[in-house]
Amino acid sequence: MGRKASSASDIEVRVQPRIGDNSIHPLEMGSGPPQRQPSDAEAGILSGEVMPFRRWRPWLVPAFIVANVLLFAITMFVNNCPRNSISCVASFLGRFSFQPLKENPLLGPSSNTLEKMGALDVSKVVHGHQGWRLVTCAWLHAGVVHVLANMLSLLFIGIRLEQEFGFVRIGPLYIISGLGGSLLSALFIQSSISVGASGALFGLLGGMLSELITNWSIYANKVAALLTLVFIIVINLAVGVLPHVDNFAHIGGFISGFLLGFVLLIRPQFGWISQQNHSPSYHTGPTKRKHRLYQYILWIAAAIFLIVGFTVGMIMVFRGVNGNDHCSWCHYLSCVPTSRWSCNSSATYCSASQEGSQLNLTCEGGSDRSQSYALPNATSDRIKELCSQLCS
């Protein structure tokens, strides 16, 4: 899950790990009364299989994947590299060709095109009242490499979750987690534009973790499953400290998904399901509760944290609050500078002058590179494109 910054090199991609087939099986419930032939659902409970829970036919996650790919194709159509750039990669694709690799190594559009399509630009959210960018940025991608990596991750993680819990639960989990990632990103990364489904994908991972915790009593091999899932999450978050990776979107999406998992992915206890599948005369013990007390406590606490967190986050973002002013060390959560790379994500600026049919550009902010172009009537969008290529 990834983000694309306004400078040419500030393009990042986060590839989610593929979740393997390490299934988590419910605890065995023991054998039932011998005098009665159990139904299929009861047989599933008694044998320890996941029979009492409905298996859903996934369609929403595939629709999300199609939507992301389609939006990327539309973005490339709008980008129209041959018209707006001096050189293009894979020029045989016509207006679907890619920006120069120096500007976008992920084989994709320019930052200016992404901005027009709805990338997260904090200044436009705050001063231009374009709050919709907090949602649209999660559906845009910086390049072919970016969209393929994220959609493969969504395919392996999302399909499995939708099969287990259905579209009614997984849809909100994905979308709200994406919004949570955008909110935290907007609070701490304000010098570049951002795109990518990273926050939503990390939200699915967070939901998987909280689902395991809140349904702890119905799973076997739970400790091994928990350690494996935590290891995967830690590795992914650790990669986020590399430069040009918006780890705040990852963290925000993960926290949102983790809390949403307690609310949306709660499972009833097998004892309660067993009693529901039997006739009243079949019950031999006390009535089982649908959920355990700790599940209710986690549900209420998570709901409160979600409401308060999103409300406070929205208020802070639209008031233009910069989270770095209140947390001097938080920027290390997204990038740790080393001798091999810098965490500088400042925007690219140029000074432009038009002399007849000649456009002169000079980079600002530490670089003295300049270039002249034979463009009689260059538009502001065209100047931004050339500036990005010159100063990257």
Q: Is 250 a catalytic residue?
A: yes
* Four-CA torsion 252, 253, 258, 259, nearest 10 degrees: 70
What would you measure as the largest C-alpha separation in the chain, in angstroms? 97
Using a 10 angstrom Cβ sphere, with 0-12 exposed, 13-18 middle and 19 or more buried, the burial of residue 196 is buried
- CA distances (Å), 85 to each of 62, 79, 110, 216, in order? 34, 10, 10, 55
Identity of the residue numbered 75: T
Q: Which H or E element spans position 373?
A: strand 370-374
Q: How far apart are the first and last CA of the chain?
A: 23
**Other C-beta atoms lying within 10 Å of the C-beta of residue 41:** 15
Using a 10 angstrom Cβ sphere, with 0-12 exposed, 13-18 middle and 19 or more buried, the burial of residue 156 is middle
Q: d(Cα 58, Cα 81) in Å, to the nearest integer? A: 37
DSSP line for 182-229? HHHHHHH--SS-B--SHHHHHHHHHHHHHHHHHTGGGBSSHHHHHHHH
Q: Which H or E element spans position 175?
A: helix 167-188
- Spot the catalytic one: 7, 198, 210, 345: 198
Q: d(Cα 297, Cα 307) in Å, to the nearest integer? A: 16
Using a 10 angstrom Cβ sphere, with 0-12 exposed, 13-18 middle and 19 or more buried, the burial of residue 287 is exposed
Q: Is 281 a catalytic residue?
A: no
Q: d(Cα 384, Cα 304) in Å, to the nearest integer? A: 44
- Spot the catalytic one: 250, 256, 334, 388: 250
Q: Are strands 370-374 and 349-355 parallel, antiparallel or unpaired?
A: unpaired
Active site residues: 198, 250
